[in-house]
Amino acid sequence: MYYVGIDISKYKHDCFILDQSGEIIAEDFIFANNLEGFNSLKTLLSSLANPNEIKIGFEATGHYTSNLKRFLENAHYSFMESNPALISKFIHAQTLRRTKSDPIDSRSIARWLMTVEYKPYPTGFYHIYSLKSLTRLRDSVIRQRSLYMVKLTNILDHIFPEFKPFFNERFSATALFILEKYHTPEAIACIPDSDYEVIHCVSRGKFSFTKLISLRELATNTVGESNDIFEVELASILALYRTTEAEVIHLENEIIPLIRELNPKILTIPGIGDITAASIIAEYGNISRFKSPAQMLSFAGLEPGYYQSGIMEFHGKMVKHGSSQLRCVLMNCTVPLIRFNPVFATYYHKKRKEGKSHRVALSHVAKKLIRLIYTLESNGIDFDASKLR
């Protein structure tokens, strides 16, 4: 058996190879992050043994490994991706010296690979990788959209501070339509009665004529002060908001067919929609690589901390290691779960009666969801509320 440690970087990769007896086979082998470099690695590996007798490991370094993964999979080589924190702790356990370099890292990865259970990356991971890229990009665009809403609020605090409270502190479709069409308090104060039908239609019948009269009075008596600069900023922020909103819709239209093609059992859980399911599956990847729900909890960083020494024993807060993206999705999806799924609603209220705070109770709901996902995906069965405890 041969153990191959690869330290990943942007333009080149460092490779170190050991055999099962610990003898060095290749040291300081550097190959470029291009086809020629990948072929040189393949030539070296093929000279050693067949792919089944070679274990390859490298750190998780985001998109820098994607091309190498695809190349290795096409060449029928398995590989294992590890958390950089584990490699770092392994290196520190070997020496007290504060020395770091790419060759040292590749050597450490190879030696670490000899000490752990080899868990090769699942084949056909590019469907999941595409889903992960799209869901993370969507999350990034949504965060940017939220930033534009904050900036829009700041502008309104200057020119029309009464506007947002009038709409219950929300930028509804009606509020945005009025801002885009009329821009300033002066224009809003002079909205003609003839425009009411359009506004009424945008609001789906929720914006009454009485509200229009009240809004015009607020605009007439506002304490804000408008000027040309604020008007330009307002128009610009609204345009950027609409752009990001359109991009979110576009990305969701790409994500939904992908997750429906995968058709995970998580979609059978009431309260879990296509986008939420896509985000969870994209972060976890192949559920079969987890041996228990506890491992899935650990991957999401939702497991509680634990310390025991002698007669002392402490149970701490959640460790918050692992994927922060996944943890955020799991915690956020607990709210619709409680709304639309009686099983999770009952479980949430049970935790609240035990004295748990709202946030802690939600974390318990998220943990229950993870255990449910593991059961459904591992056994290939649909959600059945009657079988839950």
Q: Could you tell me how many residues make up the chain?
A: 389
pLDDT value of position 353: 94
For the question of whether the overall pTM of this predicted structure is more than 0.75, the answer is no
Q: At residue 252, does pLDDT exceed 90?
A: yes
Cα distance between residue 180 and residue 201, in whole Å: 16
The two structure tokens encoding residue 14: 């460092």
Instruction: Look up residue 49 and give its amino acid.
Output: A
pLDDT (mean) for 379-383: 90
Q: At residue 124, does pLDDT exceed 60?
A: no
pLDDT value of position 320: 61
H-state helical runs in the chain: 35-46, 66-74, 84-94, 102-115, 126-159, 163-166, 173-182, 185-189, 196-202, 209-220, 228-262, 274-284, 293-300, 324-340, 342-353, 358-379
pLDDT (mean) for 52-63: 85
**Bridge partners of 18?**
3, 24
